[in-house]
Amino acid sequence: MLAYTYVSPGKFELCEKPLPSILSPSDAVVRVTLGSICTSDLHIKHGSIPRAVPGITVGHEMVGVVESVGSEVEHVRPGDRVTVNVETFCGHCFFCEHGFVNNCTDPNGGWTLGCRIDGGQAEYVRVPYADQGLNCIPDNVSDEQALFVGDILATGYWAARIAEIQRGDTVLVIGAGPTGICATLCARLKQPKHIIVCEQTEERRQFVRKHWPEVQVVSPEHCRALVCETSSHGGADAVIEAGGTAESFRMAWQCARPNAIVAVVALYNEAQVLPLPEMYGKNLTFKTGGVDGCDCSEILQLISDGKIDTTPLITHRIPLNRIADAYALFESRQDGVMKVALTEKEGTSY
Ligand SMILES: [Zn+2]
Ligand SMILES: [Zn+2]
């Protein structure tokens, strides 16, 4: 089968590999019907994720059809349409039991798929702990509607949850990349009074305006003024930082009202500064880190009910056999690309 492979830093290549098989009784093998490329894949490509193992198949955003299951798998059966979770988690360790699945203590726990074990930019993928990592897609939800459930939409949903948004709040989301937009769509479900999305590029500001006209959009230079004008408490009640730069980090706490929650879901390339003397008395709560992707069935239900729709994020569709073109496009950010959907290789028919 075709598998996009991390050969060495800077080099990904489409290789021919044997089909994956069940290695443990809790595994499933999934035929990938739709995949995508994430910024984290680019981080692997450029060598900034040292734990990534050369030779592995990359890709951790995908949906598919279960092909086979191990003897201990109970929740999915061959033929089921499923989303695949970015995180591998055992479901029974201390962290899993508390919903902190990102910190699962299994040797393969956390983000492993497409990083330390073979991922899904391939025709098939083996998914460990399939009962935890796979969720059945409701019949009225298409592959495109479900594509982001296991990764960026899980992140957006989790971000909106840990930001503890209340009805009537003013919410600031920094960064209108795919994750920031997913967070915005999930924040909306909490019925805040105002959602302000701060984004640097005009193209992405336009994109948000076009698809979600009820959201206020602002450039970084006008953000603080707009947030203060909009909120009656001198800042946002909840801030979700998905920008990932020193400027966006600073803006996150500066635009928060006293006692606000700042949920930092961005991944930074370098350490950030918390200027505590300047913040003294503002009494902020910071929540940081990587997604606990444990709400996927709830998210699928919300999609099925018509409450979340991330399909506008799919701006391009390219078959697996032309995945190098898809990477080039995604990396260049040309042609208004937000997300590329990787369809099955040309000539595939089932
Ligand atoms: Zn990702
Ligand atoms: Zn666990």
271-309 pLDDT per residue, tens: 999 999 999 999 999 999 889 999 999 999 999 999 999
Nearest ligand (C-alpha, residue 44): 1
Residue 139 lies in a domain: yes
| Tokens linked to 138 | 């409701």
Give me the residue label for tokens 């203060």: 228
Ligand 2 centroid to residue 128 C-alpha, Å = 12
Residue 66 lies in a domain: yes
Spatial contact of 83 and 63, defined as CB atoms under 8 Å apart: yes
Ligand 1 centroid to residue 211 C-alpha, Å = 23
Ligand 1 centroid to residue 225 C-alpha, Å = 32
Ligand 2 centroid to residue 319 C-alpha, Å = 34
Could you tell me the CATH number of the domain that includes residue 197? 3.40.50.720
Domain count, the chain: 2
Spatial contact of 218 and 194, defined as CB atoms under 8 Å apart: no
Residue 51 lies in a domain: yes
Whether residues 279 and 301 share a domain: the answer is: no
Whether residues 277 and 326 share a domain: the answer is: no
Ligand 2 centroid to residue 294 C-alpha, Å = 11
Nearest ligand (C-alpha, residue 93): 2
pLDDT of residue 272: 93
Whether residues 244 and 299 share a domain: the answer is: no
Ligand 1 centroid to residue 279 C-alpha, Å = 32
Q: How do residues 165-198 score in pLDDT, each as one tens digit?
A: 999 999 999 999 999 999 999 999 999 999 999 9
Ligand 2 centroid to residue 105 C-alpha, Å = 5
| CA–CA gap between residue 139 and residue 150 (Å, rounded) | 17
Whether residues 101 and 50 share a domain: the answer is: yes
Residue 277 lies in a domain: yes
| CA–CA gap between residue 237 and residue 246 (Å, rounded) | 21
For the chain, the three-class secondary structure string (H helix, E strand, C coil) is: CEEEEEEECCEEEEEECCCCCCCCCCCEEEEEEEEECCHHHHHHHCCCCCCCCCCCECCCCEEEEEEEECCCCCCCCCCCEEEECCEECCCCCHHHHCCCHHHCCCCCCEECECCCECCCCECEEEECCHHHHEEECCCCCCHHHHCCCCCHHHHHHHHHHHCCCCCCCEEEEECCCHHHHHHHHHHHCCCCCEEEEECCCHHHHHHHHHHCCCCEEECHHHHHHHHHHHCCCCCEEEEEECCCCHHHHHHHHHCEEEEEEEEECCCCCCCCCCCHHHHCCCCCEEEECCCCCCCHHHHHHHHHCCCCCCHHHEEEEEEHHHHHHHHHHHHHCCCCCCEEEEECCCCCCC
Whether residues 163 and 81 share a domain: the answer is: no
Residue 173 lies in a domain: yes
Whether residues 215 and 308 share a domain: the answer is: no
Pairing of the two strands 62-69 and 81-84: antiparallel
Integer angstrom CA distances of residue 229 from 108, 258, 323: 47, 15, 45
Whether residues 145 and 188 share a domain: the answer is: no
| Tokens linked to 346 | 């040309």
Ligand 2 centroid to residue 102 C-alpha, Å = 8
Phi-psi sector, 62: left (phi>0), alpha (psi -120 to 50), beta: beta
Ligand 1 centroid to residue 80 C-alpha, Å = 23
Ligand 1 centroid to residue 153 C-alpha, Å = 10
Nearest ligand (C-alpha, residue 49): 1
Residue 84 lies in a domain: yes
Whether residues 65 and 6 share a domain: the answer is: yes
Ligand 1 centroid to residue 100 C-alpha, Å = 18
Radius of gyration (Cα) for the chain, nearest Å? 20
Whether residues 183 and 225 share a domain: the answer is: yes
Whether residues 260 and 305 share a domain: the answer is: no
Low-confidence ranges of the chain (pLDDT < 70): 350
Ligand 2 centroid to residue 129 C-alpha, Å = 10
Ligand 2 centroid to residue 267 C-alpha, Å = 23
pLDDT of residue 350: 66
Nearest ligand (C-alpha, residue 62): 1
Residue 349 lies in a domain: no
Domain boundary (251, 268, 288) is at 288
Nearest ligand (C-alpha, residue 85): 1
Spatial contact of 114 and 58, defined as CB atoms under 8 Å apart: yes
Q: Which residues, other chains included, contact 279 with Cβ-Cβ below 8 Å and sequence gap of 6+?
A: 253
Spatial contact of 195 and 171, defined as CB atoms under 8 Å apart: yes
Residue 350 lies in a domain: no
| CA–CA gap between residue 286 and residue 96 (Å, rounded) | 22
Whether residues 176 and 299 share a domain: the answer is: no
Whether residues 110 and 171 share a domain: the answer is: no
Could you tell me the CATH number of the domain that includes residue 54? 3.90.180.10
Ligand 1 centroid to residue 36 C-alpha, Å = 9
Nearest ligand (C-alpha, residue 128): 2
Domain that holds residue 168: 155-288
Nearest ligand (C-alpha, residue 26): 2
pLDDT of residue 232: 87
Ligand 2 centroid to residue 110 C-alpha, Å = 9
Pairing of the two strands 170-174 and 236-241: parallel
> CA torsion sign, 335 to 341 to 345 to 349?
negative
